[in-house]
C-alpha cells in the first residue's frame, strides 16, 4: 500500500473518531445544541456538567479502551498466526477479571488496575505455555486452551462472587463490561496504554516478518520466541489496563483488526495504528447506542451482539477446526 493511501486512511479514521466523540457527547436523553458545545457558550449549568463531567470523559474512555483492545488483538492474531486470537477468546480478559475480583474482595479498590494488569499478563502466558507442544502452537490447541483457561477463571470469579458479600454488585457490574463510572480520573491510566501500543507499532517490521512463519523469521535474524513473549506481554498489559476501567468487553480486539486488514492489507506499519482508530470508533458507537437507545445496557453485551456472529463466521471459514 502506498504512503499516500495509508496516510489518507489514518486521517479519515482520526476524523471519524473525533466526529464520533462529538456525536456521543451531544447525544442522549438530554439534548444539547452542537453549536453551543463547539463555541463554549453553554449557559445551563446542568447541561455543562452532563457534557463535560459525564459524557466527554466517558466518550474519551471508550475511545482509549477500544483502541487498546483492538491493537492488542491485532498483535495477538499475528503472534499466534491465528485469525481467532484476541484478548477475550484467549482468556486474557478473564485473567484480568480474576485480578479485579480479588482486589475488590480484599477491599483494595485502588489496586484494581494493578490486579487487572498482572491478572491479564498471567493468563496470557498460562495459555501460551499450556498450548505449546514442542515449542509449536497449533490453531486448535490455542483456541481450546484459551477457552479452557477462560472457563477456569470464570469459575474462580464465580467463587469470588459467592464470598464477595457486599461487594457482589460491584463485581457483577464490572463483569458485564460498561463505562458508567468512567471519569476524568480514569483518563491518565488509559493514556498509559498508548505507550505499549507505541511499542507494538515500533515492532511492526518484526510482526510483518513473523506473519510469514518461524523459519523465515529465524532466517532474517529475529528470535521468534523472545519476540513473541515480549509482544504477548505488551498486548496483555494493554488489555489489563483497559479492562480495569471498562470491565470485560469482548470482540473489539477480534473485529477491528479484521476490518482494517481488509482495508489496509497485512502490513502492520499501517494495520496497528488503523486498528487503534477502528477499535476506538467501534466502542464509541457501541457505547453511544447503549447509553442513548438501550437504557444504558452494558456495552459488553452490545459488542457481543455484533462480535459473536463475526466470530462464528471466522470459525466457519477455517477448515482446520
Query: Would you tell me how many other CB atoms lie within 10 Å of the CB of residue 106?
Result: 11
- Grid cell for residue 293: 437507545
| DSSP assignment string, 5-50 | HHHHHHHHHHHHHHHHHHHHHH-SSS---HHHHHHT----HHHHHI
- H-helix or E-strand spanning residue 208: helix 204-210
pLDDT band at 321 (very low <50, low <70, confident <90, very high): very low
Average pLDDT, integer, range 260-277? 92
Strand partners, 133: 136
Span 133-165, pLDDT tens digits: 666 666 667 778 888 888 898 889 888 888 877
pTM score: 0.88
Dihedral sign (CA 311, 313, 315, 320): negative
**pLDDT value at position 128?**
82
**What gap in Å lies between CA 231 and CA 183, rounded to an integer?**
29
Amino acid at each position: 500500500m502506498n504512503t499516500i493511501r495509508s496516510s489518507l486512511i489514518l486521517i479519515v479514521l482520526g476524523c471519524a473518531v473525533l466526529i464520533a466523540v462529538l456525536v456521543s457527547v451531544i447525544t442522549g436523553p438530554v439534548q444539547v445544541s452542537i453549536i453551543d458545545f463547539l463555541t463554549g457558550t453553554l449557559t445551563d449549568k446542568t447541561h455543562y456538567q452532563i457534557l463535560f463531567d459525564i459524557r466527554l470523559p466517558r466518550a474519551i474512555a471508550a475511545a482509549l479502551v477500544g483502541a487498546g483492545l483492538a491493537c492488542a488483538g491485532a498483535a495477538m492474531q499475528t503472534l499466534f498466526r491465528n485469525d481467532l486470537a484476541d484478548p477475550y477468546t484467549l482468556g486474557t480478559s478473564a485473567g484480568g477479571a480474576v485480578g479485579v475480583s480479588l482486589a475488590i474482595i480484599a477491599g483494595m479498590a485502588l489496586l484494581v488496575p494493578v490486579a487487572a494488569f498482572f491478572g491479564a499478563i498471567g493468563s496470557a502466558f498460562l495459555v501460551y505455555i499450556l498450548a505449546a507442544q514442542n515449542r509449536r502452537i497449533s490453531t486448535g490447541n490455542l483456541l481450546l486452551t484459551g477457552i479452557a483457561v477462560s472457563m477456569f477463571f470464570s469459575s474462580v470469579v464465580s467463587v469470588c462472587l459467592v464470598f464477595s458479600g457486599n461487594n457482589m454488585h460491584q463485581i457483577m457490574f464490572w463483569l458485564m463490561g460498561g463505562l458508567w463510572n468512567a471519569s476524568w480520573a480514569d483518563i491518565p491510566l488509559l493514556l498509559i496504554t498508548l505507550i505499549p501500543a507505541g511499542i507494538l507499532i515500533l515492532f511492526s517490521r518484526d510482526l510483518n516478518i513473523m506473519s510469514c512463519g518461524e523459519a523465515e523469521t529465524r532466517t532474517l535474524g529475529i528470535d521468534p520466541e523472545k519476540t513473541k513473549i515480549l509482544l504477548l506481554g505488551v498486548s496483555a498489559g494493554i488489555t489489563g489496563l483497559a479492562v480495569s476501567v471498562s470491565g470485560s468487553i469482548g470482540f473489539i480486539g477480534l473485529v477491528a483488526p479484521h476490518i482494517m486488514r481488509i482495508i489496509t492489507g497485512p502490513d502492520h506499519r499501517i494495520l496497528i495504528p488503523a486498528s487503534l482508530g477502528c477499535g476506538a470508533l467501534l466502542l464509541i458507537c457501541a457505547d453511544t447506542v447503549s447509553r442513548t437507545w438501550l437504557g444504558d445496557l452494558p456495552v459488553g453485551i452490545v459488542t457481543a451482539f455484533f462480535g459473536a456472529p463475526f466470530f462464528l463466521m471466522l470459525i466457519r471459514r477455517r477448515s482446520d477446526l
